[in-house]
Structure 1
Amino acid sequence: MAIAEVTVVPIGTADTSLSNYVADCQDVLAQEERVEYQLTPMGTIIEGELDDILVAIRKIQEVPFVNGANRVTTNIKIDDRRDKKASTEQKIKSVKDKVQD
Protein backbone atom coordinates (compact mmCIF):
# COMPACT_ATOMS: atom_id res chain seq x y z
CA MET A 1 0.00 0.00 0.00
CA ALA A 2 1.22 3.49 -0.81
CA ILE A 3 0.68 6.80 0.93
CA ALA A 4 0.75 10.11 -0.94
CA GLU A 5 0.61 13.70 0.17
CA VAL A 6 -0.95 15.95 -2.46
CA THR A 7 -1.37 19.71 -2.71
CA VAL A 8 -3.31 21.11 -5.69
CA VAL A 9 -2.98 24.87 -6.11
CA PRO A 10 -4.87 26.91 -8.71
CA ILE A 11 -2.95 29.94 -9.94
CA GLY A 12 -4.39 33.22 -11.14
CA THR A 13 -7.74 33.04 -9.43
CA ALA A 14 -9.77 36.13 -8.57
CA ASP A 15 -9.68 35.34 -4.84
CA THR A 16 -6.82 34.46 -2.48
CA SER A 17 -9.01 31.93 -0.65
CA LEU A 18 -8.64 28.35 -1.89
CA SER A 19 -11.11 26.60 0.41
CA ASN A 20 -13.78 26.25 -2.29
CA TYR A 21 -11.28 24.46 -4.55
CA VAL A 22 -10.17 22.25 -1.65
CA ALA A 23 -13.77 21.39 -0.80
CA ASP A 24 -14.46 20.42 -4.41
CA CYS A 25 -11.34 18.21 -4.46
CA GLN A 26 -12.53 16.53 -1.25
CA ASP A 27 -15.92 15.88 -2.87
CA VAL A 28 -14.15 14.12 -5.76
CA LEU A 29 -12.07 12.03 -3.34
CA ALA A 30 -15.20 11.05 -1.40
CA GLN A 31 -16.41 9.26 -4.53
CA GLU A 32 -13.18 7.26 -4.91
CA GLU A 33 -13.93 3.89 -3.33
CA ARG A 34 -10.43 2.45 -3.74
CA VAL A 35 -8.53 5.04 -1.67
CA GLU A 36 -8.72 6.49 1.81
CA TYR A 37 -7.95 10.17 2.31
CA GLN A 38 -7.43 12.69 5.06
CA LEU A 39 -7.49 16.46 4.73
CA THR A 40 -4.69 18.30 6.53
CA PRO A 41 -4.11 22.06 6.84
CA MET A 42 -1.46 21.96 4.09
CA GLY A 43 -2.62 19.19 1.75
CA THR A 44 -4.37 15.84 1.54
CA ILE A 45 -3.04 12.41 2.46
CA ILE A 46 -4.25 9.59 0.20
CA GLU A 47 -3.74 5.89 0.97
CA GLY A 48 -4.25 2.93 -1.31
CA GLU A 49 -2.69 1.04 -4.16
CA LEU A 50 -0.39 3.31 -6.15
CA ASP A 51 -2.37 3.03 -9.37
CA ASP A 52 -5.58 3.98 -7.55
CA ILE A 53 -3.88 6.93 -5.86
CA LEU A 54 -2.61 8.22 -9.19
CA VAL A 55 -6.09 7.96 -10.71
CA ALA A 56 -7.51 9.96 -7.79
CA ILE A 57 -4.78 12.59 -8.09
CA ARG A 58 -5.48 12.96 -11.81
CA LYS A 59 -9.14 13.61 -11.01
CA ILE A 60 -8.46 16.27 -8.37
CA GLN A 61 -5.89 17.91 -10.65
CA GLU A 62 -8.80 18.74 -12.98
CA VAL A 63 -10.99 20.33 -10.30
CA PRO A 64 -9.49 23.84 -10.43
CA PHE A 65 -9.66 23.87 -14.22
CA VAL A 66 -13.35 22.93 -14.11
CA ASN A 67 -13.82 25.81 -11.65
CA GLY A 68 -12.20 28.41 -13.92
CA ALA A 69 -8.48 28.28 -13.16
CA ASN A 70 -6.18 28.56 -16.16
CA ARG A 71 -3.14 27.14 -14.41
CA VAL A 72 -2.64 24.57 -11.66
CA THR A 73 0.44 23.44 -9.81
CA THR A 74 0.32 20.09 -8.01
CA ASN A 75 2.88 18.80 -5.52
CA ILE A 76 2.98 15.08 -4.82
CA LYS A 77 5.03 13.07 -2.33
CA ILE A 78 4.67 9.29 -2.44
CA ASP A 79 5.80 6.72 0.11
CA ASP A 80 5.44 3.33 -1.58
CA ARG A 81 6.58 0.70 0.89
CA ARG A 82 6.67 -2.88 -0.41
CA ASP A 83 8.27 -4.81 2.45
CA LYS A 84 5.31 -4.51 4.80
CA LYS A 85 1.86 -2.94 4.94
CA ALA A 86 1.99 0.74 5.82
CA SER A 87 -0.65 3.24 6.86
CA THR A 88 -0.69 6.77 8.20
CA GLU A 89 -1.73 5.46 11.62
CA GLN A 90 1.15 2.97 11.66
CA LYS A 91 3.68 5.64 10.66
CA ILE A 92 2.50 8.05 13.36
CA LYS A 93 2.41 5.30 16.01
CA SER A 94 5.96 4.27 15.11
CA VAL A 95 7.24 7.78 15.78
CA LYS A 96 5.15 8.29 18.93
CA ASP A 97 6.49 5.00 20.34
CA LYS A 98 10.00 6.40 19.97
CA VAL A 99 9.34 9.88 21.40
CA GLN A 100 10.75 10.22 24.89
CA ASP A 101 8.39 11.67 27.48
Structure 2
Amino acid sequence: MAVVEVTIVPLGTGSPSVSQYVAGCHKALEQASDLTYQLTPMSTIIEGKLDRIMEVIRQMHETPFAAGAQRVSTTIRIDDRRDKEITMSGKMQAVIEKL
Protein backbone atom coordinates (compact mmCIF):
# COMPACT_ATOMS: atom_id res chain seq x y z
CA MET A 1 0.00 0.00 0.00
CA ALA A 2 1.20 3.51 -0.80
CA VAL A 3 0.50 6.94 0.62
CA VAL A 4 0.51 9.60 -2.10
CA GLU A 5 0.23 13.37 -1.88
CA VAL A 6 -1.13 15.12 -4.96
CA THR A 7 -1.58 18.79 -5.76
CA ILE A 8 -3.40 19.74 -8.95
CA VAL A 9 -3.20 23.38 -9.98
CA PRO A 10 -5.23 24.64 -12.95
CA LEU A 11 -3.64 27.54 -14.84
CA GLY A 12 -5.09 29.83 -17.45
CA THR A 13 -8.48 29.97 -15.80
CA GLY A 14 -8.89 33.76 -15.73
CA SER A 15 -9.34 33.77 -11.94
CA PRO A 16 -7.09 33.30 -8.90
CA SER A 17 -9.75 31.09 -7.28
CA VAL A 18 -9.34 27.36 -7.88
CA SER A 19 -11.83 25.84 -5.41
CA GLN A 20 -14.31 24.87 -8.16
CA TYR A 21 -11.53 22.93 -9.90
CA VAL A 22 -10.47 21.25 -6.66
CA ALA A 23 -14.08 20.22 -6.09
CA GLY A 24 -14.20 18.75 -9.59
CA CYS A 25 -11.03 16.76 -8.96
CA HIS A 26 -12.50 15.43 -5.72
CA LYS A 27 -15.64 14.30 -7.49
CA ALA A 28 -13.41 12.10 -9.64
CA LEU A 29 -11.66 10.81 -6.51
CA GLU A 30 -14.96 10.06 -4.76
CA GLN A 31 -15.74 7.54 -7.50
CA ALA A 32 -12.74 5.46 -6.38
CA SER A 33 -14.36 3.67 -3.44
CA ASP A 34 -11.31 1.40 -3.11
CA LEU A 35 -9.09 4.34 -2.06
CA THR A 36 -8.91 6.27 1.19
CA TYR A 37 -8.20 9.99 0.93
CA GLN A 38 -7.97 13.16 2.96
CA LEU A 39 -8.40 16.69 1.61
CA THR A 40 -6.00 19.19 3.20
CA PRO A 41 -5.76 22.97 2.65
CA MET A 42 -2.85 22.56 0.24
CA SER A 43 -3.13 19.05 -1.24
CA THR A 44 -4.88 15.70 -1.11
CA ILE A 45 -3.45 12.57 0.51
CA ILE A 46 -4.49 9.23 -1.01
CA GLU A 47 -3.91 5.74 0.40
CA GLY A 48 -4.17 2.50 -1.53
CA LYS A 49 -2.56 0.41 -4.24
CA LEU A 50 -0.09 2.54 -6.19
CA ASP A 51 -1.28 1.51 -9.65
CA ARG A 52 -4.86 2.39 -8.75
CA ILE A 53 -3.85 5.71 -7.20
CA MET A 54 -1.95 6.69 -10.33
CA GLU A 55 -4.95 5.77 -12.48
CA VAL A 56 -7.21 8.03 -10.40
CA ILE A 57 -4.66 10.86 -10.33
CA ARG A 58 -4.66 10.77 -14.13
CA GLN A 59 -8.45 11.21 -14.09
CA MET A 60 -8.12 14.03 -11.56
CA HIS A 61 -5.45 15.72 -13.70
CA GLU A 62 -7.78 15.70 -16.72
CA THR A 63 -10.72 17.19 -14.80
CA PRO A 64 -9.61 20.87 -14.89
CA PHE A 65 -9.04 20.62 -18.65
CA ALA A 66 -12.61 19.42 -19.06
CA ALA A 67 -13.72 22.44 -17.01
CA GLY A 68 -11.91 24.92 -19.27
CA ALA A 69 -8.41 25.23 -17.81
CA GLN A 70 -5.78 25.80 -20.48
CA ARG A 71 -2.92 24.34 -18.44
CA VAL A 72 -2.68 22.02 -15.41
CA SER A 73 0.32 21.50 -13.15
CA THR A 74 0.19 18.31 -11.06
CA THR A 75 2.72 17.50 -8.34
CA ILE A 76 2.88 13.97 -6.90
CA ARG A 77 4.84 12.71 -3.87
CA ILE A 78 4.83 8.96 -3.24
CA ASP A 79 5.64 7.07 -0.03
CA ASP A 80 5.73 3.42 -1.06
CA ARG A 81 7.18 1.23 1.66
CA ARG A 82 7.84 -2.42 0.83
CA ASP A 83 9.00 -3.84 4.18
CA LYS A 84 5.66 -3.24 5.92
CA GLU A 85 2.25 -1.81 5.20
CA ILE A 86 1.86 1.91 5.77
CA THR A 87 -1.25 4.00 6.20
CA MET A 88 -1.97 7.69 6.67
CA SER A 89 -3.08 7.10 10.25
CA GLY A 90 -0.10 4.86 10.99
CA LYS A 91 2.33 7.53 9.82
CA MET A 92 0.61 10.09 12.05
CA GLN A 93 0.53 7.75 15.04
CA ALA A 94 4.27 7.04 14.73
CA VAL A 95 5.01 10.75 15.17
CA ILE A 96 2.45 11.28 17.94
CA GLU A 97 4.00 8.46 19.96
CA LYS A 98 7.32 10.26 19.87
CA LEU A 99 5.94 13.61 21.03
TM-score (norm 2): 0.97
Read off the aligned partner of 1:52 and give its amino acid letter: R
Structure 1 consecutive aligned stretches of length 4 or more whose deviation exceeds 4 Å: none
Residue 36 of structure 1 aligns to which amino acid in structure 2?
T
2: CA distance between counterparts of 1:41 and 1:82?
A: 29
Q: Give the equivalent residue in structure 2 for 1:14.
A: 14
Equivalent residue runs for 1:1-101 within 5 Å: 1-99=1-99
RMSD (Å) for aligned C-alpha atoms: 0.6
List runs of 5+ in structure 2 lacking aligned partners.
none
Give distance in 2, aligned partners of 1:32 and 1:95.
28
Q: Provide the rounded CA distance (Å) in 2 between the counterparts of 1:94 and 1:4.
A: 17
The count of aligned residue pairs is: 99
Q: Which runs of 5+ in 1 are unaligned?
A: none
Structure 1 residue 2: Cα displacement? 0.2
1:12-58 alpha-carbon deviations (Å, 9 max, x no partner): 11111110001111111000122111100000001100000000100
